[in-house]
Amino acid sequence: MKIFVVLPAYNEAENIAPIFEGLRRIARDTYNLELAVVLVDDGSTDDTVEVASRSGNGLALEILRNESNLGLAATFIRGLEHATRSAGEDDIVVCMDADNTHVPGSVLSMMRNIAEGRDVVIASRYQPGSVTRGVPPVRRVLSRGMSLLFRTAFPIPGVRDYSCGYRAYRASILKQLFDREGDVLLASDGFSCMVRILLKLHKQGAICGEVPMVLRYDEKAGASKMAVGRTVVRTLAVLLSERFSA
């Protein structure tokens, strides 16, 4: 079984090396864990690609480059599709942010949950044992509000965190999704694509679940790049469009 780790990256030169070190550590300490990393550079204007090439030793690293900044959705979907096409039916595709706020060690607990029968496992901010460090109070309230809204509108057994990008997917379930949806997935933009993919996988019959996450926002180098207002509006738009779509 092989794990493909997809990292969508936009100006993350300061955050890449510690993530790679964390991934090397879990690969080294976990018997028989084959790891491949797919970094998708989204038209970064800093040294993200140079730093990644320099610090990717021992990680079967593949770097894909968007000519210009296309945004998270296009970057995430490109990486997800690329990894899904390279993966075997029994492999696992993990997506995590490239800003060093997601701890690589959670890959192990997500992997175990897939081995126990789940198809999608989310590293969640809202499970017993979840810890969040350094996230501004306004963002915490907004994310919590989004979580409650989606849990009410689209209840998915075992899921509380609909917008977190740190997830593990059974490759076979993603192959079905891309075969069926193809570019439709690109319809959603920005951070709302995370929610849309989860809702489509749930509709497809995927068994979902969560593991408690330690979110280290205090470890992130550089300022937030998220346009909060726009993200809230777009995510609500997904809620409405999915609510009324077949």
Is 99 a binder of Mg ion (CB under 5 A)? yes
| Span near Mg ion by CB under 5 A; candidates 22-30, 93-101, 106-114, 228-236 | 93-101
Closer CB to Mg ion, 48 or 101, in the complex: 101
Is 119 a binder of Mg ion (CB under 5 A)? no
Q: If we measure between CA atoms, which residue out of 5, 41, 208 comes closest to residue 116?
A: 208
Report the interface residues with ligand GTP, using CB under 6 A: 8-10, 12, 42, 69, 71-72, 75, 97-99, 191, 220, 224-226
Nearest residue (beta carbon) to Mg ion: 99
To the nearest whole angstrom, how small is the minimum distance from the Cβ of residue 66 to ligand GTP?
8
What tokens does 122 get? 């989310």
Q: If we measure between CA atoms, which residue out of 194, 184, 173, 155 comes closest to residue 245?
A: 184
| Span near Mg ion by CB under 5 A; candidates 28-36, 89-97, 182-190, 228-236 | 89-97
What ranges make up the beta strands (E) of the chain? 2-9, 34-42, 61-66, 92-95, 120-124, 131-133, 167-170, 208-212, 214-216
Q: If we measure between CA atoms, which residue out of 192, 137, 131, 144 comes closest to residue 165?
A: 192
To the nearest whole angstrom, how small is the minimum distance from the Cβ of residue 81 to ligand GTP?
15
The DSSP-derived string for 177-224 is HHHHHGGGGGGS-TTHHHHHHHHHHHHTT--EEEEE-EEEGGG--S--
What does 193 bind: ligand GTP, Mg ion, none (CB cut-off 5 to 8 Å by kind)?
none
Closer CB to ligand GTP, 67 or 89, in the complex: 67
Is 12 a binder of Mg ion (CB under 5 A)? no
Question: For binding to Mg ion (CB under 5 A), which residues are involved?
Answer: 97, 99, 101
